[in-house]
Amino acid sequence: MDLAHERFEKRIQIQPSDIDELGHVNNVVYLRWVQEAAVAHWRAAASAQAQENLWWVVVRHEIDYKRPAFEDDEVIAVTWVGTAERRSFERHTELLRAADRKLLAKARTIWCPIDSATGRPTDVSDEIRRQFSVPGTEE
């Protein structure tokens, strides 16, 4: 199996600016980490040509917050691909506390592929569809 179908991990260091007035990581920061993990996975797994030709935009986030993260914590973002439709690609992400791998948050994100030349939503090649979705789910 190629890198695109494997779970991809990205370590995250919490910054002082990530902490809100309640003393823990702000919920908006979790969403930023979800997006950063997806982008890192795409850059690690996609060909240079695919990265040049396709951009991705989020059309939907669903996130469940389970536990707070604090400034001294280190976080691991684990992401993997899900199902794909004509112009939407599902991705899953879990944010874990590195020290004990306890689940901090989990997210399901829907991404839309954008043609870099036109800036408009686009269909993607069969190769990218196979690489970045769970087999047997494409329409």
Residue with the bigger pLDDT between 130 and 48: it is 48
Residue 78, phi then psi, degrees to nearest 5: -115, 125
**Do the domain assignments include residue 136?**
no
What is the tally of structural domains in the chain?
Answer: 1
Q: Given this model, what pLDDT does residue 10 score?
A: 97
SS3 at position 23: coil
Domain residues for 124? 3-131
Q: Assess contact for 79 and 6: CB atoms under 8 A.
A: no
Dump pLDDT digits (tens) for 34-79: 999 999 999 999 999 999 999 999 999 999 999 999 999 999 999 9
**Do the domain assignments include residue 73?**
yes
**Do the domain assignments include residue 78?**
yes
SS3 at position 47: coil
Of all residues in the chain, the percent with pLDDT exceeding 70 is 94
Q: Distance between CA atoms of 64 and 20, rounded to whole angstroms?
A: 18
| pLDDT over 60 (residue 139) | no
135 band by pLDDT with thresholds 50, 70 and 90: low
Q: Distance between CA atoms of 121 and 58, rounded to whole angstroms?
A: 12
**Do the domain assignments include residue 55?**
yes
Q: What is the rounded average pLDDT of the residues 117-138?
A: 82
Q: Assess contact for 74 and 99: CB atoms under 8 A.
A: yes
DSSP symbols for 72-116:
T-EEEEEEEEEEE-SS-EEEEEEEEETTT--EEEEEEEEEEEEET
**Do the domain assignments include residue 138?**
no
Give the largest CA-CA distance in the chain. 47
CATH of the domain at 71: 3.10.129.10
**Do the domain assignments include residue 49?**
yes
